[in-house]
Amino acid sequence: METTTQQAPQAIIRGVDIHKRYVMGRDNFVDALQGASLEVQPGEMIGVMGPSGSGKSTLLHILGCLDSLNAGEVWLDGVRVDKLSRRELAALRRNEVGFIFQTFNLVSSFTALENVMLAAEYAGKGRAKRAIRPRMLSPWSGCPIERDIAPTSYPAVSNNGSP
């Protein structure tokens, strides 16, 4: 009999028993996450649902390497990232992670195009790539980003959701 061994695909995101405590003072703290775990497979699309204050944004910030955790593990594409240095985390955020923020965090004195190009600039992309990339994004985002517009003119299309 022929047997085949199928390996499960490696999770693109894996959070294991994540704990997060926000400390505001000596006896003033919030345990926002108390053992959150999840696995996301490549190509999978998930939604995180829960009541206000249940820790959704906290979880997304930790998985996206924007915030630290008190205990647990975070793995991205097979690499454990919760122990990386600040410099390594900055490179990871710049090259591997994309966020659409609820408060969209654009630089208001820049046009929409300049805002998109800024990230490419930090990533060290050449002029041509910087010019092409935002045009590739525009049909996806629905934002006429190639026009020289101020981001504040388009709050409805720029504000796509949490975190």
Binding residues vs ligand ATP (CB under 6 A): 22, 24, 30, 32, 50, 52-58
Work out how close the CB of 90 gets to ligand ATP at its nearest, in angstroms, rounded to a whole number: 20
Site string for Mg ion, 53-72 (x = CB under 5 A): ---xx---------------
Q: Which does residue 22 bind out of ligand ATP, Mg ion, none, counting CB within 5 to 8 angstroms by kind?
A: ligand ATP
Work out how close the CB of 101 gets to ligand ATP at its nearest, in angstroms, rounded to a whole number: 12
Residue 29 CA: distances (Å) to CA of 17, 25, 67: 19, 7, 16
Residue 93 CA: distances (Å) to CA of 43, 117, 123: 19, 16, 10
Work out how close the CB of 58 gets to ligand ATP at its nearest, in angstroms, rounded to a whole number: 3
Residues binding Mg ion: number (CB under 5 A): 2
Q: Give the residue among 47, 63, 59 at the shortest CA–CA distance from 14.
A: 63
Residue 83 CA: distances (Å) to CA of 13, 67, 70, 88: 15, 12, 11, 10
Q: Give the residue among 91, 41, 42, 32 at the shortest CA–CA distance from 62.
A: 32
Nearer to ligand ATP, 53 or 139 (CB): 53
The contact set with Mg ion (CB under 5 A) reads 56-57
